[in-house]
Amino acid sequence: LAQMDGFTAADIKKAAKKDQTFCRMLNAQDPIALREFADFYDRFAAIKHLGPADRPWLECTAQAGNLDIWAADTPTGERQAYHVFYREDARVRSLHAASFYAHASSKEAQRKIGRANRLLIWECMMHYQAAGVKIFDLGGWYNGSTDSALLGVNKFKEGFGGKVICEYMGEELKTLKARSAV
């Protein structure tokens, strides 16, 4: 908490104490839990003009033991947010985050969902730290300056006190056979 900005730390405490947000890891290998996440994400993605969840890939990754699904709920059991991570021994990386923050019925409802998201990330961080994971990657960074929604996501991530690291993902095709296959 000491590395976080004051707003993020205060929101985490408020979500836990005032809102009584309940955060937990779901069983990603449970087809019902996976379907419920994918359905929730697809509704979120349609609003945000994103592609739907890749259900076959999520299922394969879950069956391989590398997918973690986390959820934040109200005390009455209403789902507020999901965060889905790809997990390896020393690193977890955020793949999907979904909530209906922008479409909440009021400013206070938006604030509650924002607090739930912050608490959920905090609970995930504590879980993975206790499990010996060295890198907690919130995934992606918007380098532009015009998309206010993506700048808001950057601000959310900055609140946790981490650092931006430039990394690349790709394939190096070293053989003729590999190059011809692609």
Residue 64 confidence (pLDDT) = 96
| pLDDT value of residue 100 | 76
Q: What is the pLDDT of residues 116-169, one digit of tens each?
A: 999 999 999 999 999 999 999 898 888 899 988 888 888 888 888 888 888 877
pLDDT band at 102 (very low <50, low <70, confident <90, very high): low
- pLDDT of 171: 81
Averaged pLDDT for residues 31-35: 96
Read off the tokens for 5.
């900005």
Q: What is the DSSP string of 79-125?
A: EEEEEEEEE-SSEEEEEEEEE-GGG-SSHHHHHHHHHHHHHHHHHHH
Q: Is 43 helix (H, G, I), strand (E, B) or coil?
A: helix
- The pLDDT of residue 157 is 86
pLDDT of residue 1: 67
